[in-house]
Structure 1
Amino acid sequence: MTRTLAQRVRALDEAVELSRDRSSAEVVADATAVLKRAGERGAFAGDHTVVALAGATGSGKSTSFNAISGTQFAATGVRRPTTSTAMAVAWGTELPGELLDWLDVPRRHLVPARRSAFANLVLLDLPDHDSTEAAHRMTVDRLVPLVDMLIWVVDPQKYADAALHERYLRPLAPYAEVMLVVLNQSDRLRSDELAEAMADLRRLLDAEGLQQARLMSMSALQGDGVAELRRLLAEAVSDKAAVSARIAADVTVAAGRLGDELGATTPVLDRRRREPLVQALAEASGVVLAVDGVRDAWKLRGGLATGWPFVNWVARFKPDPLRALRLDQSNRRLAPTAISRTSLPTAGPVQRARLDRGLRELVDAASTGLPRGWAAAVNRAARGHEALLMDRLDTTIAGTDLELDRGTGWWSVVRALQWVLMAAVVAGGLWTLFMMFAPALGLGGLPTVYWWNWPAQFVLLAGGVVGGLVLAGLSSLGVTIGARGKARRVERILHQAVGRVTDAELIAPVEEELDRHRRAVAAVANAR
């Protein structure tokens, strides 16, 4: 086997593996059989070339066998109404037993020859292909795919027989290079009749795609053309190319059938199909509720951090939306080994319908132009993880960092200011009470301290209250604006997370299947 042919065989093997469970089981099985035969045929020691003579009853096939081989091993004439089993003749010092065992030819003969043009030739006499015995026809059908070279012996009366042309010659057109058609019994025709018969047979063969098949005439009884046929066989044995030519033809046929199953091109997945699918998954997984929860939680937490301490304690009784949805980052840090899950509601019928429509559109776009088996494989790839898709989305959302600890630095500053202002209120209030009850306690005559023409205690009390309320109001506005920005940021983060799940669970399997088809098409091209 040449290096190029070996590469073609490997390419066919790759195409078969890639096409398995996607292309027709029959086509894949036939290609697998070709690979098996190629491996087995190439494994035999020696350089034997197997040539088979095939023909119809009465064509003179066995007489031709004896004339070519120079033996009388094949029963002819009245002694054989039909050849019942295949017979082999080999030249040399020993029979190629393993090869004949593989061919399963029971009748074997050795022509001793140390130096012969037929050394390494194995010549088979096949049963008649038109035999009334089914076993005989089955033997022909079994051996025709195994031999390296075929010689079809026809006679002037039945060379156009439909059974021969429709069952064998036309289907074997790809093997024309390793086929020879011999018009036997030429001695029964005048020269003009022989020329006319040869021209007619050539026309029939060419019409059936057998332009490369060689055609010659012969009279096995009279010996006309026998020497030429022996010379052609000797050249085939000497060239040692028949085995490779037969395997190459097998590979070409198998690759062609696989190619027909694959189609010529692979669709390219339109990435614009991704965004509607991401949007549908985001809706189905509760991203909208999560974003709303972040907005509300940001307002609640920001209000608690920056509100007026005298009143914002009431807000502590409000439930935290993120904790209710189990999206609170700090809770997960307390149990890093726990599986992160949310409490987001499951997708409703509307969300699931949108998701199913998105998947159908993805599959339709990815399988346009693909054969049925490959389109089904694309659909399996897209929906292979559908049962676990929502769980994967939920855990992904639960494990996504919502960046809630970012953008809160100013809260600490405001909280510190609020505590300072609260301290001023407390100090001003206690100072005022002290000044009110000081005379009763016998502490009269204490001087009053003025700031900006106002009693200091009043400035502390009023300033602390007004300052705290104003600061709380301004902070509330800042928290509200920040909540909107944080919600938009979280929405982008969650969409990116959903997008990663979409790519991993839906897009990537489909693209892998398309890449598999693309590699199968390339492998078939290389095998051809």
Structure 2
Amino acid sequence: MRPRRRPTLDERLSALGAAAALAEGRLDEAPVEHARAVVARAGARAALSAEHSVAALAGATGSGKSSLFNALSGTDLADVGVTRPTTSAAQAVRWDPEGSGPLLDWLRVPKRHTAEPDTALSGLVLLDLPDHDSIEVAHRLEVDRLVGVVDMLVWVLDPQKYADAAVHERYLRPLARHRDVMVVVLNQVDRLPGGAVARCLDDLRRLLADDGLAGVPVLGVSARTGQGLPELRALLADRVSARRLWAARLAADAATAADGLAKAAGSTAKPGKPAGGLAGPLTTALADAAGVPAIVAAVGKAHRHRAAAATGWPATRWLRRLRADPLRRLRLGGGRTSLPAGTAVQKSAVDLAVREAGAGLATGLPEPWARSVREAARAQNDELAEALDKAVAAASLDAARRPRWWTLAGVLQWVVFAAAVVGALWLFALFLVGYLRLPEPPTPEAGDVPWPTALLLGGVLAGLLLALLFRGLAWVGGRRRARKASRALRAAVADVGERLVLGPAEDERARFTEFTGDLARARAG
């Protein structure tokens, strides 16, 4: 099995930007804006010098940070103090100044110096930051700003305060993703007895491991005596030589921002499966509210009504035409219906079904994204009634199509009716002849029954029997047509439910799935 290719930095940043866009309006604004700021900062840093790496010395008051800056640069640029903050603004020293100007402009570091050329440190820009625990708020803000953008961080601690919770909780722990661009220096080890140095370094490594920074280089140095400085210079030279510190820093920033989004979304794993069978209950509730049962019943009644008018006893068909057509009274097919609005019970059932559908699709999602899915399901509740009415009105019920047998049945009814009429007229003629005492004409007989009587009675009886037969066939056809109408109407109603309820909720769930995929790519490292 081929190993999965790790995404490039550009792909990770693109995924982070996409995740932030998907989270817009769904998660707290702070982590979303942080992710966008990381993407914007990455674009700005990538456009600047890739040949220079900016490392910042950060530390507390009295840690000897400025002394270490002077010792590494071979200058006396930084003012050195013991208990009070002497660095009020960041300053930079460069071993290779060409091309570093725009980078320092972007970092807003105006104080710049050039050290003696050193091939090993070519490309390094070293910053001396103000004290992170300074009593001056502006100093702390400057530290926070630059700690968030420099390519590499060198934390300078001292034996007295290396376990200080302020630096661990405010800076080191939140930067756990930045272990590849971080070095921790225990300065002033010359003040410790020989055996205490190793114990302090081991204890510092334990504290860093608790901060999530296991494996970060920890060096014991003394800016005053020069102990450990060659090792620190060699480490800086090795990191700078790769010319990829800036990319490693941006990758760590992307992972940290993605962690923030994941924490805000409550997503630590892939979403579970949504509850099944959501469409059925929703469609049933919507169908009831849209009057589908009444329409289905009207389709069956209308079929029987029209069948009786087309195939019934001709002498009584006109009575059928005096009755209103059950389906035409609903005025279907004109874009709107005349169905009454849903009852309070039906509206309550629809609201419950919509909520249950939203809750089902939110299954397995963390808050607050689950809430977004539920809200998406209910977002168009006000449009449901009109959409259902239009869908029902536009549904193809196939109710106007006349079955072919109606025509044959109607012709047959007229034939037997004509026979009955002929028999009645014949008998009436015979009655007139007898009444006027005219010679009685010969009357043919069918067996023992005269033909006029046979025609009249047979025609009436046959018509009634045919009417009963055709009514039974119409009843069966009405049931079949009602079932067909029910399927068509439920399909139309289901489409409304999909479009206005399930679809938006499913889109929101898919948005979360896409969000988690983007987060996974942004965090891959």
Same fold, TM exceeding 0.5? yes
Question: For residues 42 and 442 of structure 1, what CA distance do their matches in structure 2 show?
Answer: 126
Q: Which residue of 2 aligns with 1:459?
A: 454
Could you report, residue by residue, the CA deviation over 1:88-111 in whole angstroms, capped at 9, with x for unpaired residues? 122325252221122111212234
Partner SS, residue 219 of structure 2? strand
Gaps of 5+ in 2: 1-5
Question: For residues 377 and 65 of structure 1, what CA distance do their matches in structure 2 show?
Answer: 52
Q: What does 1:222-301 correspond to in 2, within 5 Å?
A: 222-260=225-263, 261-263=265-267, 264-301=269-306
Could you report, residue by residue, the CA deviation over 1:140-172 in whole angstroms, capped at 9, with x for unpaired residues? 001101011111112222222232222222222
Whether contact under 8 Å (2:159, 2:187) holds in the other structure is yes
Moved more, 259-268 or 126-135: 259-268
Q: Does 1:163 align with 2:166?
A: yes
Q: Which residue of 2 aligns with 1:309?
A: 314
Whether contact under 8 Å (1:24, 1:373) holds in the other structure is no
Q: Which residue of 1 aligns with 2:35?
A: 31
Q: Does 1:183 align with 2:186?
A: yes
Q: Which residue of 2 aligns with 1:62?
A: 66
Q: Which residue of 1 aligns with 2:54?
A: 50
Whether contact under 8 Å (1:449, 1:455) holds in the other structure is yes
Could you report, residue by residue, the CA deviation over 1:468-513 in whole angstroms, capped at 9, with x for unpaired residues? 1221122122222322333233223322222222222222222222
Look up the equivalent residue of 1:11 and give its one-letter code: A
Question: For residues 78 and 470 of structure 1, what CA distance do their matches in structure 2 show?
Answer: 120
TM-score between the two structures when normalised by the length of structure 1: 0.91
Q: Which residue of 2 aligns with 1:417?
A: 412
Shift of 1:439: 8.1
Partner SS, residue 181 of structure 1? strand
Whether contact under 8 Å (2:155, 2:184) holds in the other structure is yes
Q: Taking structure 1 as reference, are residues 127 and 397 closer, same or farther at Cα in structure 2, changes over 3 Å only?
A: same
Question: For residues 241 and 470 of structure 1, what CA distance do their matches in structure 2 show?
Answer: 98
Residue in structure 2 matching 1:89, options 79, 88, 93: 93
Partner SS, residue 52 of structure 1? strand
Whether contact under 8 Å (1:21, 1:373) holds in the other structure is no
Q: Taking structure 1 as reference, are residues 206 and 93 closer, same or farther at Cα in structure 2, changes over 3 Å only?
A: closer
Q: Which residue of 1 aligns with 2:476?
A: 481
Quick one: percent identity of the two aligned structures? Answer: 46
Could you report, residue by residue, the CA deviation over 1:283-304 in whole angstroms, capped at 9, with x for unpaired residues? 1111111122112212211110
TM-score between the two structures when normalised by the length of structure 2: 0.92
Q: What does 1:499-510 correspond to in 2, within 5 Å?
A: 499-510=494-505
Look up the equivalent residue of 2:114 and give its one-letter code: L
Gaps of 5+ in 1: 333-338
Q: What does 1:52-451 correspond to in 2, within 5 Å?
A: 52-77=56-81, 81-111=85-115, 113=117, 116-260=119-263, 261-263=265-267, 264-327=269-332, 332=333, 340-406=335-401, 408-437=403-432, 446-451=441-446
Aligned-pair Cα RMSD in Å: 2.4
Partner SS, residue 171 of structure 1? helix
Shift of 1:523: 2.0
Question: For residues 85 and 260 of structure 2, what CA distance do their matches in structure 1 show?
Answer: 39
Could you report, residue by residue, the CA deviation over 1:335-375 in whole angstroms, capped at 9, with x for unpaired residues? xxxx5111111111111111122122222222234333212
Partner SS, residue 153 of structure 1? strand
Q: Which residue of 1 aligns with 2:466?
A: 471
Moved more, 482-491 or 509-518: 482-491
Shift of 1:398: 0.9
Question: For residues 80 and 479 of structure 1, what CA distance do their matches in structure 2 show?
Answer: 103
Question: For residues 419 and 182 of structure 2, what CA distance do their matches in structure 1 show?
Answer: 111
Q: Which residue of 2 aligns with 1:335?
A: none
Whether contact under 8 Å (2:287, 2:493) holds in the other structure is yes
